Structures are given as structure tokens and as C-alpha cells.
């Protein structure tokens, strides 16, 4: 019997010939990520557990992204505790406002194909874009890993998602993952691995795969996985080993579900208030007035996303009384977008360009909304109160659709 990608990663990590879904194993952790919101709680729990040193300081990454710049007085406590903890235990991998954690973990080279990675954020599933098993955990589990370097997991079942063909114009990987979440439901992949395959997936950029892996958690998935290929190697600046290239789901592997899509059947869609699985075609909601558009986040703040929006906005203006906020996912992306003229186009169109970070997506800073307002956003969640008050309506969309809405002042398809 063959194996799925997640089964291969776990088996190799623990030195077993094979593993099966439902089996509980203890894995050796390759890397962990802690962000600024959780660092005080992780630090306190770590010391409460009696640990006196990190299992490997070089494998720990601390990223300040959710709370920068500070918008509440208590934010400074998080920074202070994080700095103290890093200094005390010899942590060198600390990023202070360099970008969003999930962008930096692969961009900065911390995660490689076949790695097992945990982070104190649910969207840690993002790193599956390069073929890593990555998943979010709480601060107690993180404190335990910091002291031991190990973590127990239950081997997940796998849902195989095959996508074949060429995507229609103005349909992106964001539309694919939203459609899949709509079909599965918000709990349809709970504690399962999503394994993506097919020529449509093979033709995607790593950035597009990141969008899909990022939102796997919105269907309840434990992780999302893509087979490493030459695009992965170029992005990670490595030469793939035989073990890494073999991270592919075997033809005779056992899947709990197989979903097949034809790329030409996808259309631009929106996740409508206030559930991520409430999916409708953009054309069905065309003409709905909006107050704000947000392009950015760890879901769609990469260079290709900003360039896609700029293509729509070139020589156009944001509609009167509509705010367009653009947040690059990292400083590197910000610089690249500035260098190739993307920032110039967005700025001329009337966009507000912010520093890289999580602020608006998690409702902290940089454009939160109030009662009765409606926003089209490229981030990953549209729950009540996510980007302002509980009476804000959040529609999730691709950067192309979001840009078209900013120009129209209403929900609109790309012309």
C-alpha cells in the first residue's frame, strides 16, 4: 500500500517504515514560530514548566507582526517580554516588523520541504506550500516543544484534491480555495490533511500555493501539502533531494476522500458575511455598495497579488468615498513592489499603503471599520468583529476582484 504526503513526512521524521491515519506518534520538530501576541504566555508557561534552556535556540523564530506598530498600551508588554525571553535564552531569529510571520517563515528560509513545523497561529498551515507539515498550536504546547523539541501528533487522514486544466481569466488560487471551502464546509476537513495535485496546481507559482495552504485551516484542515518541484527549489534556494522530490501522494495511497475539479469550471467568488464557507459568485452580488477594500495579509499580500491589483487599477482611481488599503506581506515584498513600479500605480490610484504587518486583518490597527460598513478584503477570515465591530460586513475575495471593487465602489467583476 502506498502513502500520502503527510504519511511520508511523519514516517521519515520518526524513522518508521510507514505510519497510518489515527496512529499517535511523537515527532521531532524542525522549527517553531512564535508571534508577538503569544510570546508572553509561551514564556511564562515555559518557565512554569521548569525548563531552564531551549532545546535548540536556532530552531526558534520570534516574529513581531500582529501588534506593530502598537495600537494599545498593553502591546508594549508583549514586546518587552519577548525581548527579555529572546535575550535570556539565546534566541537570534527575531524579526521586529519585518513582515507577517507566515510570509517570513518561508521567505527567510526557515522552512524547507519535508520539515515539521509548528507555530502559535492557526494559519501556520501556510508552509505546506513548499511541502512541509506545518500546523498551529497553543502556547502550552509551544512551551513544551521549546523545552523538549518534540510534539505528539495523530497521523491525519488525507483528502486528495485534484485540479486539472487552465484557469479562466481573472480566476485565481484564492477563488479555488474559497470554492473548496464552500464545498467542504468550515468543518469538512477537520484534523485532515489536504493534498493538492493536478496540472493546474503544478502550473501555479509558489505564491499561489501559499494562498491555498494558508486557508486550509478555514476548512478545519490540520495541514495542506503540495509536492515540492523546481519552483519550490528556486523559491527555497535549494537543490531538491530525492527524499524531497518523492513527497508525492502515491497512486495506491489510501485517501478518505478524493475531490476532482476542472479548472475551467471555476469562477470569481466571494466568501460572504460572516462565514468563510458562505461562498457565492461575484456576479450574483454585483452592485452591492462598499465602503472599503483591503488588499494584503498572509493570504494575499505577496508581490504577484499587489501586481494583479495594480494591473486592474492602472490609470484608474479608487471610487469616491471608498478607502483602499494595501498592506504588503513583508519588507522584501514592499521593496520589490516599489522597485517595479507597483507601489507607484497603487498610490496614484488612491491607495493607502501601510507597513507590512497583520494589523487590519486581525482588527488591531490600520483601517478598522464600524457599524454598517462593508469591506471587500483579501485576507482569510470574515467572522463577526474580525475587522471592527460585529456589525461590519466582510466579503473575502481575490486581489483582482478586490481591485475591481475599489474602482467601482461596489462589488464588481473584473471587466
Give the mean pLDDT of 321-329: 97
In whole angstroms, give the CA distance from residue 28 to residue 23.
16
Looking at residue 71, its pLDDT comes to 85
Q: Check whether residue 145 and residue 161 sit in a common domain.
A: no
What percentage of the chain reaches a pLDDT higher than 90?
Answer: 95
Burial class (CB in 10 A: 0-12, 13-18, 19+), 278: middle
Q: Residue 204's domain is classified under what CATH number?
A: 3.30.499.10
Whole-angstrom distance, CA of residue 134 vs CA of residue 138: 14
The last residue of one of the domains, among 154, 180, 200, is 154
At 63, the pLDDT band (50, 70, 90 cuts) reads very high
Q: How far apart are CA 357 and CA 51, in angstroms?
A: 31
Residue 7 lies in a domain: no
Gap between the Cα atoms of 223 and 191, Å rounded: 8
Assess whether 32 and 164 both reside in one domain.
Answer: no
If asked whether residues 114 and 171 sit together in one domain, one would say no
Domain end point (choices 139, 154, 169): 154
Residues 96 and 172 placed together within one structural domain of the fold: no
pLDDT in tens, 274-304: 999 999 999 999 999 999 999 999 999 999 9
Which band of pLDDT confidence, cut at 50, 70 and 90, is reported for residue 366? confident
The pLDDT value given to residue 391:
97
Q: What is the total count of domains within the chain?
A: 3
Residue 1 pLDDT exceeds 90: no
The verdict on 235 and 254 lying in the same domain is: yes
Residue 29 and residue 59 in contact, taking contact as beta carbons nearer than 8 Å: yes
**Average pLDDT for 46-50:** 98
pLDDT score, position 20: 98
Expressed as residue numbers, the domain containing 240 is 156-266
Q: For residue 106, give the C-alpha cell.
A: 518561508
HSE (side-chain half, CA atoms, 13 Å) at 68: 20
Bridge partner list, 196: 161, 226
Say if 8 falls within a structural domain.
no
pLDDT(72) > 90: no
The residues near 376 (Cβ < 8 Å, ≥ 6 apart) are: 270, 290, 292, 293, 294, 395, 396, 397, 401, 402, 405, 406, 411
Q: Which residue has the cell 498592506?
A: 327
pLDDT band at 363 (very low <50, low <70, confident <90, very high): confident
Instruction: Single out the residue in 216, 250, 266 at which a domain terminates.
Output: 266
Q: Are residues 129 and 171 in the same domain?
A: no
Q: What is the pTM of this model?
A: 0.97
Helix axes 331-339, 303-313, angle to 10 degrees: 40
β-sheet bridge partners, residue 137: none
362 has a pLDDT exceeding 90: no
What average pLDDT is seen over the chain?
97
Residue 51 pLDDT exceeds 90:
yes
Q: Confidence class of residue 25 from pLDDT cuts 50, 70 and 90?
A: very high
Q: How far apart are CA 113 and CA 226, in angstroms?
A: 9
With cut-offs at 50, 70 and 90, classify the pLDDT of residue 194. Answer: very high
Band of residue 113 on the pLDDT scale cut at 50, 70, 90: very high
For helices 39-48 and 75-88, what crossing angle results, to 10°?
Answer: 50
Picking from 273, 276, 295, 308, the residue whose alpha carbon sits closest to that of residue 179 is 276
Please tell me the distance from the alpha carbon of residue 168 to that of residue 200, in angstroms, as a whole number.
Answer: 11
Amino acid at each position: 500500500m502506498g502513502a500520502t504526503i503527510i504519511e511520508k513526512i511523519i514516517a521519515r521524521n520518526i524513522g518508521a517504515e510507514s505510519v497510518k491515519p489515527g496512529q499517535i506518534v511523537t515527532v521531532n520538530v524542525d522549527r517553531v514560530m512564535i508571534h508577538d501576541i503569544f510570546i508572553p504566555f509561551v514564556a511564562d508557561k515555559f518557565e512554569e514548566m521548569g525548563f531552564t534552556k531551549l532545546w535548540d535556540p536556532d530552531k526558534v523564530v520570534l516574529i513581531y507582526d500582529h501588534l506593530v506598530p502598537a495600537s494599545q498600551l498593553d502591546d508594549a508588554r508583549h514586546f518587552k517580554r519577548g525581548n527579555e525571553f529572546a535575550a535570556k535564552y539565546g534566541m537570534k531569529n527575531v524579526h521586529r516588523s519585518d513582515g507577517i510571520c507566515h510570509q517570513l517563515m518561508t521567505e527567510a528560509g526557515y522552512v524547507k520541504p519535508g520539515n515539521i513545523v509548528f507555530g502559535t497561529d492557526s494559519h501556520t498551515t501556510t508552509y505546506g506550500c513548499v511541502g512541509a507539515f506545518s500546523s498551529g498550536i497553543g502556547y502550552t504546547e509551544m512551551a513544551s516543544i521549546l523545552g523538549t523539541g518534540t510534539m505528539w501528533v495523530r497521523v491525519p487522514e488525507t483528502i486528495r484534491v485534484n485540479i486539472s486544466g487552465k484557469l479562466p481569466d481573472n480566476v485565481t488560487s484564492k477563488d479555488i480555495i474559497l470554492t473548496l471551502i464552500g464545498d467542504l464546509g468550515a468543518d469538512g476537513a477537520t484534523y485532515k490533511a489536504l493534498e493538492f495535485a493536478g496540472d493546474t496546481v503544478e502550473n501555479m507559482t509558489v505564491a499561489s500555493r501559499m494562498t491555498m495552504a494558508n486557508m486550509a485551516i478555514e476548512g478545519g484542515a490540520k495541514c495542506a501539502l503540495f509536492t515540492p518541484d523546481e519552483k519550490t527549489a528556486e523559491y527555497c534556494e535549494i537543490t531538491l533531494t530525492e527524499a524531497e522530490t518523492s513527497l508525492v501522494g502515491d497512486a495506491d495511497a489510501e485517501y478518505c476522500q478524493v475531490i476532482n475539479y476542472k479548472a475551467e469550471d471555476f469562477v470569481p467568488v466571494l466568501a460572504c458575511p460572516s462565514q468563510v464557507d458562505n461562498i457565492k459568485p461575484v456576479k450574483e452580488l454585483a452592485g452591492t455598495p462598499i465602503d472599503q477594500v483591503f488588499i494584503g495579509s498572509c493570504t494575499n499580500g505577496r508581490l504577484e497579488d499587489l501586481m494583479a491589483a495594480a494591473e486592474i487599477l492602472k490609470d484608474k482611481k479608487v471610487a469616491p468615498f471608498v478607502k483602499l488599503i494595501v498592506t504588503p506581506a513583508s519588507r522584501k515584498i514592499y521593496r520589490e513592489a516599489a522597485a517595479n513600479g507597483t507601489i507607484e500605480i497603487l498610490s496614484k490610484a488612491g491607495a493607502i499603503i501601510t507597513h507590512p504587518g497583520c494589523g487590519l486583518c486581525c482588527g488591531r490597527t490600520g483601517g478598522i471599520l464600524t457599524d454598517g460598513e462593508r469591506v471587500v478584503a483579501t485576507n482569510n477570515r470574515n467572522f463577526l468583529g474580525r475587522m471592527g465591530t460585529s456589525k461590519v460586513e466582510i466579503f473575502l475575495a481575490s486581489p483582482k476582484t478586490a481591485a475591481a471593487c475599489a474602482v467601482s465602489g461596489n462589488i464588481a467583476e473584473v471587466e
